[in-house]
Amino acid sequence: MAVILEGRALPRWRAVAPRAAVALVWFYEGLWCKVVPGRADQRAIIAQIPLLPHWAAIPLMVSIGLAEGAVGVWVLSGARPYLAAGVQTWLIGSFNLGGLVFAPDRIAEPGRLIVMNLALICLIWLVAERGASR
């Protein structure tokens, strides 16, 4: 089945692949890195949030991971693409800023983190544009 995008018929997989790629990043970063099994470096970054009780680091990490998984579902749904892109941009910016401010010693390559996330944000907005034009 084809999808009509900007007056052209695209195979369904070409219409869905960019959206699926963005969703997979959210699933990986959220569900794998923060929920099951959860990564020690992610825990260490969250544990360095000022005024956060030590016991709250893991529940907060799991909550963030589940929220990131929900963002992945939202992206896959294609609903409200510009709002989804704005929320994703805010989340990525907030997470990066928080990590760089509160746990700079836990981020091995800050430049790589920023460059990779800028590329992801570009893809997010391209997906939003494509979703809005359907």
Q: Residue written as tokens 């579902």?
A: 73
pLDDT-derived band at 97 (thresholds 50, 70, 90) equals very high
Q: CA-CA distance, 12 to 2, in Å (whole number)?
A: 5
Domain ranges of the chain: 9-132
> Is 60 exceeded by the pLDDT of residue 1?
no
> Is 70 exceeded by the pLDDT of residue 6?
no
Q: CA-CA distance, 8 to 2, in Å (whole number)?
A: 9
Selected residue with higher pLDDT from 13 and 61: 61
Count of all residues that appear for the chain in the document: 134
- Which pLDDT score is estimated for 3? 59
What proportion of the chain, given as a percentage, has pLDDT over 90? 83
- Which pLDDT score is estimated for 113? 96
Burial 20-55 (b: 16+ CB within 10 A, else e): eebbebbbebbbebbbeeeeeebbebbbbbeeeeee
